[in-house]
Amino acid sequence: MRAVVTGGAGFVGSHLCERLLTQGHRVVCVDDLSTGRAENIAHLLDHPRFSYVHQDVTQGLEISGRVDAVYHLASPASPRDYLRLPVETLLVGSYGTRNALELARRDRAAFLLTSTSEVYGDPQVHPQPESYWGHVNPVGPRSVYDEAKRFGEALTMAYRRTYGVRTTIVRIFNTYGPRMRADDGRAVPAFVTQALAGLPLTVTGDGTQTRSLCYVDDLVAGLTTALETGVPGPVNLGNPEEVTVRELALAVREVCGSASPLTFLPRPEDDPRQRRPDISAARRELGWAPRTPLTEGLARTVAWFRATAPLPGEALPTLV
């Protein structure tokens, strides 16, 4: 199979490129490096079945030769990034998704859209099944990401119904692991870099808000399985084991062997109070469930940060 991965130099995208190569596929990685990093794919550049295209998918997606699969991951994904790039986030969710869908339509390729648990907003149903329509503030600061993904889902389904494109939608819940940017503002990299530097761990609110954290290797296994299965979705991919943000901070501190204190900051606007996926559909339709315990995943992540990531000079605010 020849697969195109938009956003392939990002945190999740680079792991997906690796998995596809391991499975024997040819991979075309497309990324403009606005939030992705060249070092994430540097070790793949000499691989005979890997190629890299520097391209902004909102401006077009011109890939020569036949394509069998399109994985559309391109988008700012951390709160710090999409709040810094609000218009760009909306454009990649609209124009970028259309261009990726057109590429799949051209070659009758399978198409997978990575949507997000953010489509559920600050949920009033817990845990969140795919049938829940969400509780989203459409004009709040986080709406640029929420609504970009909601529009992307609607456009994907329109292409499926109108043109018969073989589409799959997955909704990704909080994911962590090696290659997260230390400065992207999400909880795990912020806590890890702070703990390793001996700085206070910045917890927003009182820390009782919850998240469900899935290790990146488990997630990418779900992505490839979803496309291969061809299930239309949407399908939740995430870890149903729920932890509070305070518990997460303490777990990171223990893995790092740090004595850093916890410090508390105001919660960002529209920050979800609770987040946990109902993965019944993924178990039933994909035979998928996460396998990596949080302590094991955190140990691998911390080891990567110790080996490769620079430490911040000051405490970073945590946006989950």
Active-site residues: which are they? 145
Q: At 259, is the secondary structure helix, strand, or coil?
A: coil
**Quick one: tokens of 218?**
């488990």
Quick one: three-class SS letters along 176-210? ECCCCCCCCCCHHHHHHHHHHHCCCEEEECCCCCE
Please state, in angstroms and rounded to a whole number, the distance separating the CA atoms of residues 102 and 81: 26
CA angle 246, 251, 253 (to 5 degrees): 95
Question: How far out from the chain centre does Cα 37 lie?
Answer: 15
**For tokens 């070092």, what's the residue?**
39
Cβ within 8 Å of residue 161, ≥6 positions away: none
Half-sphere exposure of 54 toward its Cβ, with a 13 Å CA cutoff? 5
